[in-house]
Structure formats: structure tokens, C-alpha cells
Amino acid sequence: MDLETTLHVATELAGAIWVTLALAAATLPLGFMFAALTTWARKSPYRFAQTVASAYVLVFRSTPLLVQIFVLYYGLSQFAWVRSSPAWIVLRDPFACAIIAMSLCAGAYTAEVMRGGLAAVPQGAIEAARSLGLSRFKTFLLVTAPIAMRRALPAYSNEIVVTLKSTSLACTITVMELTGVAKDLMSQTFAVIEVFCMVAAIYLAINMILIFALRSLELSLSPAYLRPASRMRRMIPWMSRSIAR
């Protein structure tokens, strides 16, 4: 690849980073919201809510996201009544469709993460809080949620990274994010491996920042007695070595 092409590719890709980030930034909070709703429904005493929540998680976790995006975008638009309904204002827009499909999917996965986190809360801690006279809500807020959050964070950080990478599927419904632009550039210039490596470097950089930020959050959420001195050394061994000396 000559210099001119490289520069052209690099500038085009740089412009698309924002689209990818915007997709992820919109998807994550929405997904979290769906997950929280699902978790609440699963724990609720209403059988109907439980069934709906379980079905939602099952369906969205078990089918490829690509299929979900397709069905939402191309599938719904085949019905005339959808096109004449007010929902069409949102569904007409590919960007909005991508966000809806991805956050529904992320929500299902995040709900599983939340389930895992809640299951890891020791029953004794909850009982202790209740016997101290804390209300249900206060127990949840002060005891269950913090412990569950800490337990679920490694899995949730996985989920964040996966979501960021799955934004690449939005290009199948004409949202020109990083992968979409890269595909276009590849078919223009034929520099497939080179363009792909550049895209990968961008995704990697974004994800590394995310992973390290989440790792430090995880560390800061751990109580001091669970935070082994060697943790830091594990993260950056060469650095701590020089410190140890």
C-alpha cells in the first residue's frame, strides 16, 4: 500500500471511530436498563413477568445478533402497518434500529451477568443485614448490590468489550461505522489485510483503554483485605519489579 492510499484509509477510518463509539455509548446504558428490568421481573412474584423475562433472555442470547438486526430492520419493514405506525419514525432510521437491536441483545446477556452476580452474594450477608433491622430496599442498596456488582464486574467488562466489537454488525444495515468503512475501503483498494490490521489496531486501542479502566475499577471496588499486594504486580510486572528494587 503506498503512502497516499495509507493516508486516505487512515483518515476515512478515523472519521468512523465516532460512529462506533456513539453506537456503543448508546447501546450500553440501554442494555443495562433492559437487563435491570429483566432481573427485576425474574425476581418479581408475578409468574407472567418471570416467564416473559426468561423467554426474552433465552431468545436473545440464543440467536445470532446478525439475525436479530436483520429481522428488526428488514423484517419489520415488510409489514405495511409497521410502516404506517408511529414506530416507523424510529424504525426508519438504520442507526436507531442498530441501537435497539444491539441493546436488546446486550440486555439479555447483561441480565445473565446480573444473575451470576446476585447468586454470588452470600446468603449470610443478606440475613445479617435483615437481622440488623435494615429494610429490604436498604439491604439491597447497601449490601446485595455492592457485593453483586463487585462479583459481576469481570463478566460485565467482558460484556462491554463484546458489545463494542459487535457494533461492527451495524454495517449490514448501512450504518457506516468502522467495519463498514473498512469494508468499503477494502473493496476500493483491495488492501484487505492492511486495512483490516489498521481497523483491528483501532478496536484494540479502544478495548485496551476500556479493559484497563474496568480493571482498575474492579480493584478499587475490592475491599482492602481482598486486594492482594501482588495484584498490581500482576498487571504491570516490569513496572513493579523496578519499584521492588
Partner 1 sequence: MNGGASIVDLFIWGSGGWSRPLLTGLCVTVACASIGYVLGIVLGLAVAFAKLGRNSWLAAAATVYTTLLRGVPPLLVIFLLFFGTNGALMWIARGFGYAGYIEVDAFTVGVLAVAFVSAAYSSEVFRGAHAAIPKGQFEAFAALGLPPVVGLWTVIMPQMLRLALPGLGNVWILAMKETTLLSVISLAELMRVVGLAGRTTGQPFVFYGAAAIIYLVLIAMSSRAFKAVEARMRWA
Partner 2 sequence: MFGKLAKLSGIISLCALLVAPAAAEGQVEVRIGTDGGYLPWTSMTPEGELTGFDIELAKLVCERMERTCRFTAQPWEGQIPALEQGKYDILVGGISITPERQKRLAFTQSYGNLPINFAAAKSSGLNGKSTWPELKAALAGKTIGVQSGTQSQKFMDNELKSEVTIRLYDNQDSLNLDLLAGRIDAALAGRSPWIALTRTPQGEPIEILSPNLDFQQFNYLGVGVGGLMRKDGHELRKAWDEALCKLKVEGEVKRISEKWFGFDISVKPDPIICGA
Distance CA 38, CA 49 (A): 9
When asked if residue 38 is in the footprint of partner 1 (CB under 8 A), the reply is: no
Distance CA 73, CA 93 (A): 9
When asked if residue 63 is in the footprint of partner 2 (CB under 8 A), the reply is: no
Specify the amino acid at residue 110: T
3-state secondary structure of 177: coil
Distance CA 234, CA 7 (A): 38
Binding mask 109-148 for partner 1 (x = CB under 8 A): x--x--xx--xx----------------------------
Of the candidates 29, 64, 71, 83, which one interacts with partner 2 according to CB under 8 A?
83
Partner whose binding site includes residue 112, from partner 2, partner 1, none (CB under 5 to 8 Å by kind): partner 1
Of the candidates 6, 77, 144, 207, which one interacts with partner 2 according to CB under 8 A?
77
- The residue written with cell numbers 479502566 in the block is 213
Q: Is 43 or 83 the residue whose CB approaches partner 2 more closely?
A: 83
Q: Report the candidate in 141, 224, 182 with the shortest Cα–Cα distance to residue 10.
A: 182
Helices (H), strands (E): how many in the chain?
A: 13, 0
Of the candidates 11, 45, 48, 62, which one interacts with partner 1 according to CB under 8 A?
62
Binding mask 145-174 for partner 2 (x = CB under 8 A): ---------------------------xxx
Q: Which residues contact 50 (CB under 8 A, 6 or more apart)?
A: 41, 42, 44
Alpha-carbon distance values, 124 to 27, 65, 144, 147 (Å): 35, 39, 11, 12
Q: Is 59 or 90 the residue whose CB approaches partner 1 more closely?
A: 59
- The residue written with cell numbers 443478606 in the block is 126
Contact (CB, 8 A) for 152 and 146: no
Binding mask 93-132 for partner 2 (x = CB under 8 A): -x--------------------------------------
Q: Is 6 or 134 the residue whose CB approaches partner 1 more closely?
A: 6
Q: Residue length, the chain?
A: 245
CA angle 228, 152, 235 (to 5 degrees): 35
Q: How far is the CB of 162 from partner 2 (least distance, A)?
A: 21
- For residue 85, which phi and psi values (nearest 5 degrees)? -85, 160
Footprint of partner 1 on this chain (CB under 8 A)? 58-59, 61-67, 70-71, 74-75, 78, 109, 112, 115-116, 119-120, 151, 154-155, 158, 161-162, 165, 168, 179, 193, 196-197, 199-200, 203-204, 207-208, 211, 226, 233-238, 240-241
Footprint of partner 2 on this chain (CB under 8 A)? 2, 5, 74, 77-78, 83, 92, 94, 172-174, 176, 180, 183-184, 186-193
